[in-house]
A and B are shown apart, each in its own frame.
Chain A
Amino acid sequence: MTPEFMTSATFPASPPENRSWTRYFGFNTDAKVIGIQYIVTAFFFFLIGGLLAMIIRGELITPAADLVDRTVYNGIYTMHGTIMLFLFIFPVLNGLNNLLIPTMIGAPDMAFPRLNAVAFWLVPIFGSLLIASFFVPGGPAYSGWWSYPPVSIQNPLGHFVNGQGLWLTAVALSGVSSIMGAVNFVTTILRMRAPGMGFFRMPVFCWTALAAQSLQLIGLPALTGGAVMLLMDLSFGTSFYQAEGGGDPVLYQHFFWFYSHPAVYVIILPVFGIFSELFPVYSRKPLFGYVYVSLASFIIVGLGLIVWVHHFFTSGVPQWMRNLFMVNTMLISVPTGVKVFAWLGTIWRGKLRLTTPMLFCLGGLFNFVFAGITGVMLATVPVDIHVSNTYFVVGHFHYVIYGAAVMGIFAAIYHWFPKFTGRMPYEGLGKLHFLLTFVGANLNFLPMHPLGLMGMPRRVSSYDPEFAFWNVLASLGAFLLGVSIIPFLLNMVSAWVRGPKAPHNPWNAIGLEWLLPSPPPEDNFGEHVPTVISRPYGYGTGEPLVENQAEIERQLTLQEASA
């Protein structure tokens, strides 16, 4: 990294630091402000998406379609998936990227701070667009978050402005926002690391973020292109996907899944990063096999790009393609297994501290291993033919997304909350939140597996009575999950307002971000970026991470004592 580069990143000189709460509501270029903007916005939409999930589970607690009209049900399940993916999970992860990447690598900010702010402000814009689609004539999009044609281009009312059109516009904008974010994260990681921080001294979270954001750059153009063509079919009479005009509806499935399968890795890779960061801290041991774990992320990227056809084994693909994509898919379990075993090796013979973040990590790992096993089952074509598009798949991916990813995200929020707010979260509320989440998620998502094996299709608004028992259990679990968010919100709000002041390193963790005050100043280390002299996670080795570490820590402690 050249000094010129750093100057250009912070130029023009920033105005005097604005530390008031109002900075969170404006166009701010500080990655730490943007990170919190992302996370708070994401949780706002999480509540909306969760409310829709409650309506879905309320409808499905009885076999008949009796709570809402079928059209309303279809709109609600579509918006639940869309909001949770595009407005909750991607933004919340970008929030963590914004908070963690610059502080972990010792950069003053992201490489392109204004692009970063624009990428964030697109989120509330396309979010409002999506929410507005509830109020247009005919209601919101109802064709599922895949939006497969021809259902998605049927446009029953024939209006030019319709729910599906708004949906497609919002998804395209979301793609633009994600590409802007990805360019920024990749550039920042490649070019702005602290002196001495070679790739193999980089925290695993940054490795996984680099891998995930590279996937965004490779995959998103396919989805965005596919979505634009769908919008043209819907609004301008083209027939890319319409059989009667010479198009092919299956073509869309290729465009969609070429991105949307890797999107799952965009979600889960940073969560692997979180596990890799947190298990060492709370086991007081180095990460087992750091190099293997880091490289495994990129093996997952490579394989993740060549498995997309497994999403439509039933849709008319030839036998050789089925076999090829099955084998590719199953191979992913090898690098993923390497990571799981590395985490087990990390906690083995450690000195475990079962704090809230550690509990969320352990619970997340438990759920992830379960999801991995059902994932291998789904990869094998004959079993997939039976259970594809059934509740088995719904159960599988909710174990991945909620059971593993969201639990990992909660772990990260509890772990880094003191760093970025300067306040300590409450342990009791945190543990209550963990307990409700873990029990609720398993009660909600485990019953979906027997339902799928019995042959209950996903996306149904009514079902045969033989499915009632497991659906009642799933609904009760869902309502428990709904309740589980209350202690979390209570914890976050009250801790931020009046929680105990956080020291610079409350968990006794190793990492550049823990050598900053809590909360860090706007330009992080400013002119005094420490020089990294060893690998991360040196727990128990006694080796300092950076030059003059003792002196830096003494300064921070003095600062805290005088404050």
Chain B
Amino acid sequence: MSNPSGRSRPPISSVGLVALLGWIGLLIALSWWMAQQAYRWLPVQASTAAPLVDGLFSFETGIGTFVFGAVVSVMVWVVVMHRAEKYDETDAEPIEGNTRLEVVWTAIPFVLVMAIAVYAIQVNTRLGVLGPMEHIHLANPVEEQGGYPADRLPAEQVEVIARQWSWEFRYPDANVSTTELHLPVDQPVTFRLVSEDVLHGFYIPAFRLKQDVIPGRAINFNLTPTREGRYRLRDSQFSGTWFAANQADVVVESQEEYQAWLQHAAHQPLQPGLSDAVGEYGTRKQLKNPGWATVPPAPPPQVNVPGSNTLPHDA
């Protein structure tokens, strides 16, 4: 790319050539290492989507490291080696351009980004076929959202209701509602995302998936958890005063534990679910000078099991 030898007028000495190739080798090694490191910057992989997204990110990190390293190498080389001597007021050799070089450095980025784009489209397509098996078209195909075709019925459907500021999860088959999302591991699940007030974002970092929840639409959204554990669900689309506190926990557990939890939950009486906003709103009202105006939080949803959002989570 920004190979310095390509531009130097005097033919490069063999020592210089070896040094240059050595440096490029070093950059490639560094890029390879960074690509491996990239996985460690991300949360644990807890869905079928996560390895695909992480693989693409790692690939991009590798290429990005090489490009950045090459450009910065040229900059540092120039700053160290091509400084004007003290009191040298003269100009440098006037090189106004080089058409062949310009064509090359137009073509190389083009090929690189198209390679990344093809890889990304492949990942997109694979994310789209990761959903469940049966194909049944819904009335309105416009509502196919979330990177997956939603035109199939899943094994399990969970209704997600986003509010200012709480998350409610309903399991219509089991007649259970909760403010802590429970999912069986390795089972495809479809969510039906609705909002009662403003835009919200349904975002579980460990799953690498995110979908805006839009008032006036019911959006079907599929995923398959792959790792047992406790993860955070965060609101990712600014939703007003308690946006930051609008979090819930997602518990991925074995099929047996999940069924046991559902059975237990179905026998619990309805009670107020979790809503940090409601609690904070109460204490805030006591204050003499609480701050600026806010929309009052919706009352906590009535659920069978509130669950918890204070336990340690894996991601």
A interface residues (Cβ-Cβ under 8 A, vs B): 65, 68-72, 74-75, 137-140, 142-144, 148-151, 154, 156-157, 163, 243-244, 248-250, 283-292, 312, 314-316, 318-319, 322-323, 326-327, 330-331, 333-334, 337-338, 340-342, 344-345, 347-354, 362, 365-366, 369-370, 373-374, 376-377, 380-383, 385-386, 388-390, 450, 453-455, 457, 459-464, 508, 538-541
Report the nearest B residue to A327, measured CB to CB: B117
- In the complex, chain B residues whose CB is within 8 Å of the CB of A318: 142, 144
Q: Hey, which chain B residues are within 8 Å of A322, CB to CB?
A: 124, 147
List the A side residues contacting B94 at CB < 8 Å: 285-286, 538-541
Q: How far is the CA of A373 from the CA of B197 in the complex (A)?
A: 37
Which residue of the partner chain, among A288, A365, A376, contacts B96 with CB atoms under 8 Å? A288
Verify A386–B205 contact, CB threshold 8 A: yes
Q: What 1/0 flags go to B57-72 for Cβ under 8 Å of A?
A: 1001100100110011
User: Given A341-B2, A348-B4, does the pair A314, B120 have CB atoms closer than 8 Å?
Assistant: no
Shortest distance in angstroms between B131's beta carbon and chain A's nearest beta carbon?
13
Complex Cα–Cα for A248 and B116 (A): 33
Known: A327-B114, A337-B105. 4 other contacts (CB 8 A): A150-B197, A314-B212, A389-B210, A540-B94
Q: B293 in the interface, Cβ–Cβ < 8 Å?
A: yes
Beta-carbon contact of B53 and A383 below 8 Å? yes
Complex interface: chain A residues within 8 A of B219 (CB): 316
Task: Check A333 against B201 for contact (C-beta < 8 Å).
Answer: no
Partner pick for B102 among A284, A292, A463, CB 8 A cutoff: A292
A139 and B293 contact, Cβ closer than 8 Å, known pairs A370-B68, A459-B238: yes
Q: A383 near B210 (CB under 8 angstroms)?
A: no
B229 within 8 A of A: no
In the complex, what residues of A have CB within 8 A of residue B121's CB? 323, 326
Q: Are B124 and A142 in contact (CB under 8 A)?
A: no
What size tier do the contact residues of chain B reach? 35 or more
The answer on a CB contact under 8 Å between B91 and A289 is no
Which residues 12-65 of B sit at the A interface, judged by CB distance below 8 A?
41-43, 49, 52-53, 56-57, 60-61, 64
Q: Which residues of A contact B71 (CB under 8 A)?
A: 340, 344, 369
Bound Cα distance from A118 to B210, whole angstroms: 45
CA gap between A362 and B199 in the complex, in Å: 41
* Interface contact A385-B292, CB-CB below 8 Å: no
Query: Do B216 and A248 touch (CB < 8 A)?
Result: yes
Q: Which residues of A contact B208 (CB under 8 A)?
A: 382, 385-386
User: B148's closest neighbor in chain A, by CB?
Assistant: A319
Q: What is the minimal beta-carbon distance from A399 to any residue of chain B, in angstroms? A: 12
Query: Per a CB cutoff under 8 Å, which of A337, A338, A382 touches B127?
Result: A382
Tell me which residues across on chain A come within 8 A of B238, comparing CB atoms: 143-144, 148, 151, 459
> Interface digits, B132-152 against A, CB 8 Å rule (1 contact, 0 not)?
000000000010110100000
Q: Contact partner of B237 among A72, A292, A351, A389, CB < 8 A?
A: A389
